[in-house]
Structure 1
Amino acid sequence: MSSSTLRRRLYHGDVDGRRNEQMDSSSADGLDEPLLGSYGDRSKEYDSRDEEDWDFRKKEEQQQWTFLFSTLIAQWAQWFANILTESGSVVGRLLTFSSQSPIYLSPLQEERLSTLKERLQVPFDGSRVDHQDGLRQLWRLAFPDTTIPPLKSEAWKEMGWQGTDPSTDFRGGGYISLENLIYFAQNYPESFQKLLLKQEGTRAEWEYPFAVAGINISFMLIQMLDLQSTGMPSSQAGTRFLELLAEDENAFDKLYCVAFQLMDAQWLVKRASYMEFNEVLKSTRTQLERELALEDVTHVRDLPSYTILYR
């Protein structure tokens, strides 16, 4: 069997970075031990609670989420503002590792990196018609059989926005966060729906809100890949990502889909709840960094975690 058919597989212990990789010579079409395996029926009702107590706990959950994400996004808003002030910088041709060994980028890599950075510089603006249309497009993809609600409506909470106006959840987040969600829904609709509707595994009593989690994943990837730097990415993950970008102009959006699916897989394995979201996001980043460091990864589809995505 050729070495190209050997694929590294993620097992349950690998999800949180606590075990070494294991090698599996099976085909690349699926996992022998799926991360998103049978975790039980989420339709099981919880212990008896009267309606008043349930309403109180739901309000408490919303307050906890608002505090958690407000803190995270406030920090990212300042970071994003720094990008905008430095947007006039010229993309350099040399990329230097910690070893100071220069790496030359091809014109194609430079062009694609420049295009990606331009996307990062576009803040979400709820007053822009094209951004409003983006939200409507996302709704059509998420709930194709329902009427698109007004841009301010309680219905948006069903998608995992914190309030009635999705535009307030972007805060310092850019339009790329919405583009990532749209790309996910268009290209991996089965995974998108399973995560949106929380259809896999035994879920926590208090789940992460889907849409807001998606915004956080976009930011996590931007930081991990060092895309906020004024020149070329200097992190190991960032430099490896440039190789993926040379092969696929949609590498960032595809990596986002992998990251979202992997985050949910870790969420289930850790049996996490909303207060542990940041911890799960960190372990997701660690796993992605490990996979990007693998020598045989030349395309997003070569990542071991790519095999847990559904189309």
Structure 2
Amino acid sequence: MTSKTLRRRLHHADVDGKRHEHLEEASGLDDLNEPLLGNPDIWPFESALAEIWNDEQRLQQLHWALLFSQLIAQWARWLANIVLGSGSLIGRLLTSATKNGPKSRLLAPTRTPLQEVRLKNLQQRLQVPFDGSRVEHQDALKQLWRLAYPDRELPPLKSELWKEMGWQGADPSTDFRGGGFISLENLIFFAEQYPELFHRLLHKQDGSRAEWEYPFAVAGINVSFVLAQMLDLQSAKPTSMAGIRFVQLLEEDEMAFDNLFCVTFQMMDAQWLAKRASYMEFNDVMKSTRTQLERELALEDVSSVKDLPAYNLLAK
């Protein structure tokens, strides 16, 4: 059985093989708060994002508690230095007790004007939903097909052929929902900047693959969505630790989000192969990918996406 046939099985049958050929009739939803992740009887992504969202809420609660503690610590240092005098015994004790706390870097540094502009531009991109009636969005979808299959004829915007790229049905526009137009831009950027790696992932050429593989295009939408959540880009001023570090990366690279998308997609696939995962395990793979990325963003010597250890995956 060819890899193409295996990928098509994801669209033609559910886990127990009881239903066939019915997914292509699924309609798009208007809610843009989460991506279209498919029939919950078939796709593991919806529960994955629910768990990620719950984890995000717990992390945010912890973060704000730590942030409040740091504000108290900073106030204590100010009191020691200004009121009591840093040269006094009490002043030295208070300064020593609060200076090197384990969470002393939680407060976001002042952003530069360049970071402000680039963050605002990125957040504006994130607010644009995919609209299948807009000519420029249709053209972008066609561009992705040409990049993916340069030697094949461009199909109509509604065609069974789109399933071969990893869309759920014959109409890719129904798969974007919460991923928005930026997720399509991310896929195009990946195909243009790293064409060889893009095609290796698209055609699942690396490693020993499961019979039930993750769908390439829909997985890309999920990577974009999870990145935006992890980096706290819905907030006017990101306060998550990963978000604060990411804003710093914008100083060096205006396309940091797009480049990080490429790194994350490749990380996810590497995790997929290492775990010998099947598509029902996409949940665990995406969560472990996120954890690894958060750790790498926390490294002190990371000032650009290229400094991330996982960036080496793009050079293979």
For the criterion TM > 0.5, the same-fold answer is yes
C-alpha contact 1:65 1:274 (8 A) present in aligned 2: no
Structure 2 match to 1:301: 306
Residue 124 of structure 1 contacts residue 175 of structure 1 at CA under 8 Å; is this kept in 2? yes
Alpha carbons 1:73, 1:173 under 8 Å: kept? no
2:219 to 202, 205, 213: 213
Q: Which runs of 5+ in 1 are unaligned?
A: 1-41, 45-53, 79-96
Q: Distance in 2 between matches of 1:75 and 1:190?
A: 33
How far 1:103 sits from its partner (Å)? 2.0
| 8 Å Cα contact 2:178/2:225 also seen in 1 | no
**1:129–1:296: structure 2 CA closer, same or farther, 3 Å change rule?**
same
Q: 1:251 to 1:209 in 2, by over 3 A?
A: same
Q: Distance in 1 between matches of 2:215 and 2:291?
A: 22
1:143 corresponds to 2:116: no
Q: Which amino acid aligns with 1:169?
A: D
Which protein has the bigger helix share? 2
Alignment RMSD (CA, Å) = 2.8
**Number of aligned residues:** 242
Q: For 1:238 and 1:270, how far apart are their aligned partners in 2?
A: 28
Contact 2:129-2:178 at 8 Å conserved across structures: yes
* CA distance in structure 2 between the partners assigned to 1:249 and 1:143 by the alignment: 28
Residue matched to 1:66: 39
Shift of 1:60: 1.9
Report SS of the residue matched to 2:109: strand
Q: Can you give the 5+ residue segments of structure 2 that lack an aligned partner in the other structure? A: 24-36, 54-65, 72-106
Matched, 1:248 2:202: no
Aligned to 1:177: 183
Give the corresponding residue for 1:292.
Answer: 297
The structural deviation recorded for 1:72 is 5.6
Evaluate the alpha carbon distance shift between residue 295 and residue 138 of structure 1 in structure 2; reply closer, same or farther with a 3 A threshold. same
Rounded to whole Å, the distance in 1 between the matches of 2:146 and 2:231 is 31
User: 2:301·2:307 contact (CA, 8 Å) conserved in 1?
Assistant: yes
Relative distance call for 1:60 and 1:190 in structure 2 (3 A) is same
User: Could you tell me the percent identity over the aligned residues?
Assistant: 63
CA distance in 1: counterparts of 2:239 and 2:262, whole angstroms: 23
Distance 1:310 1:138, change over 3 A: farther
Distance 1:74 1:167, change over 3 A: farther
Measured in 1, the distance between the counterparts of 2:49 and 2:271 equals: 25
- Structure 1 residues 238 and 55: alpha-carbon distance in aligned structure 2, compared to 1, 3 A threshold: closer
SS at match of 2:250: helix
Q: Report the Cα distance in structure 2 between the residues aligned to 1:56 and 1:122, rounded to whole angstroms.
A: 29
Q: Residue type of the partner of 1:60?
A: D
Q: 2:271: which partner in 1?
A: 266
Structure with larger Rg = 2
Q: Which amino acid aligns with 2:208?
A: T
Structure 2 match to 1:122: 128
In the superposition, the TM-score normalised over structure 1's length comes to 0.72
1:165 and 2:119 matched: no
Query: Matched residues in 2 for 1:276 and 1:73: separation?
Result: 9
- The one-character-per-residue Cα deviations of 1:92-124 (angstroms, maximum 9, x if unpaired) are xxxxx8234452111100000000000011000
TM-score after normalising by structure 2: 0.71
Following TM superposition, by how much is the alpha carbon of 1:217 offset from its aligned partner in structure 2, in angstroms? 0.3
Letter in 1 for 2:249: L
